[in-house]
Each structure stands twice: as C-alpha cells, then as structure tokens.
Amino acid sequence: MSSKKILVVNDLHPIFLDKVRQNGFQVDYFPDITKEGIIKVISQYHGLVIRSKMFIDKAFVDQATNLEFVARAGAGIDNLDELALKEAGVLIFNAPEGNRDAVGEHAIGMLLMLFNNLHKGNGEVRDKIWDREGNRGVELGGKTVGVYGCGNTGKAFAKKLSGFDTQVIAFDKYKKLSKNDYVTQVDFEEFVSECDVVSIHVPLTDETNNYIDRKFFEAFKKKIYLINTARGKVVSLADLSWAIEQGKVLGACLDVLENEKLATYNVEEQEILEKLKQSGKVVFSPHVAGWTVESYKKISEVMSGKILKHYLPKDRLA
C-alpha cells in the first residue's frame, strides 16, 4: 500500500478520494484553499490535484520539494508549466477521456441550436412573436464538417456526427488517425477547400495561441461555420468578428472566450463581444462543454486510475 500524500485543491467527485484512499494514499481535500495556502503546505505532499485554481510555474515547483505528480482534473494542461515540471521530474496526469463525450455532445448541440435558430425562436415565442419564415433552419446533413485537431474530444465529436449524414474530415499535424476514428484525415489544403463547418479541438500552446485569425479564415474556399469548445485564446475574437462582418464566417458557436472574466473587460474587449452578440450569428455558453454530471464522475475515475496504475501493480489494487 502507498504512503504518498495527495493535496486536492479543487472540488472533485468523491469517487477519486474513495479510490485512492482505499489503496493507501493519504488525501487532504481542501477545495476552498487559496493559492497562498497551497504554496505554504505544498512541500508536505507527493501529489497535487488541481483544476484551474492557479498556474503551476517554476517558482511553485521549486517550493514543492517532495512533489512527484500533478493531476489536472480535465483535459487541458495550459495552466501547468510542462517544462518546469519535466525538469523537476514531476509527472503530469490529465483526464481528457473523462469529458470527451460531454464536449462532443455539447458541440453538436450548439451547432444544431445555431442552424435551427433555436435561441432566436425561443426568445421570440416568449415575446409572443410567431415567425416561422424568419426562423427557417439549415440542415446539418450533407455538410462537410472539419475537425481541427483530432485528439480525444475531436474523435468523440466525429463519432457523434456519424448519424447525421455528414462527411467528416480532420486535419491534425501531430496525430495519425485510423479508419476507426469516424473521420477521414486530410492535408490542410483539402481541409480548407472542403469544409462547411470547422470545429476546433486543439490544446492551448504557444503555437495555437491566437492561431485562428484573419489569415486562417481567409484560407477557406467556402463560407464556414465555426465551433470552439477548446480554449478561448486559440481564436482571435477580433478576427472572428471581422470574418462574420465580411461574410466569410456564417455563424459561430463559442463555449470559450479569450477572456472569460467578463467583469474585467476593457473597452476594446467589450466592443468586440458586443459586435458578436449583435450579429445574431453567435451562440455562446460559459465554458461548460465538458461540464456534465457524468463527466464530473468520469474525470475522477480516469485520474485515480492513472495514478494508481503508476504507483501500484494491478494485483495490489483495492
């Protein structure tokens, strides 16, 4: 049995605590702890479980003298300094398998909402407006849907599209896909030539920061719809607003924004967001694509499984 100590600093499904404690780990569960509080005690722990409470940088790693792993309760690890952790010999566990189905379903839900004017129609009926022609929809069937980045969430999205009579293609610089992934892998030239819908599924890195910009939109041969359930900073909202105004983007589904702290917006950010809102061509949600009852539990199951697999042989798991 392990005698490792784990600090959990965000809300987590209790199944994580149960699994690791059953296998001998000591767990302190402090979801309300502050950043300062974490720094004070981190030297006592071998493992840290975190969602998005703080950025784990080199200065923090230097304080965490006994740290052996950081487990990120979700898919993205953009709040972790991967190089600093690697140099210190600290492992990273994340759980993209835990919320991939939730993200895939949410992306389709937002797209259907956009195509069928569901937000507009709902608001009008509530205001006693019965406008059928003004809410005539567009069908997903027959469209070519492009998956930009085909990891866990990209593949899940592609799989869920399989019943919609769509052609699903993918561009991924770093992964080789198989026929079992419900998608046809293409080069970038074919991707920008064929897509009617583009769904973004890449992590936030130095390479992808603001990667979806004016140049990206100008590359497409058709007018497209855009979905972003990845990270807000991957898409330049200023350039997306421009693309909508130019008619290059017919509509967008945004679960994430460059700055998700809406109360802190400066004048420019407010103007861009207002343009997107007033366009009537954007559906928003508050970074909840992977935020379901089921994914809450699955993420904890995936994380505990990876930690236990690393530390304990299969025949010793409780």
Concatenating the DSSP letter of every residue in 37-87 gives HHHHHGGG-SEEEESSSS-B-HHHHHH-TT--EEEESSS--TTB-HHHHHH
pLDDT tens digits, the chain, 318 residues: what are they? 468 999 999 999 999 999 999 999 999 999 999 999 999 999 999 999 999 899 999 999 999 999 999 999 999 999 999 999 999 999 999 999 999 999 999 999 999 999 999 999 999 999 999 999 999 999 999 999 999 999 999 999 999 999 999 999 999 999 888 777 789 999 999 999 999 999 999 999 999 999 999 999 999 999 999 999 999 999 999 999 999 999 999 999 999 999 999 999 999 999 999 999 999 999 999 999 999 999 999 999 999 999 999 998 765 665
Residue 143 DSSP code: P
Query: How far apart are the C-alpha atoms of 45 and 65, rounded to whole Å?
Result: 8
Backbone angles phi, psi at 154, to 5 degrees: -60, -45
Same fold, 5-94+294-316 and 98-284: yes
Homologous superfamily in CATH for domain 5-94+294-316: NAD(P)-binding Rossmann-like Domain (3.40.50.720)
CA atoms within 13 A on the CB side of 226: 32
**pLDDT given at position 16:** 97
* Correct CATH for 98-284 of 3.40.50.720, 3.10.20.310, 3.30.1180.20, 3.90.79.10: 3.40.50.720
**pLDDT given at position 217:** 98
**Domain-by-domain residue ranges, the chain?**
5-94+294-316, 98-284
**pLDDT given at position 177:** 84
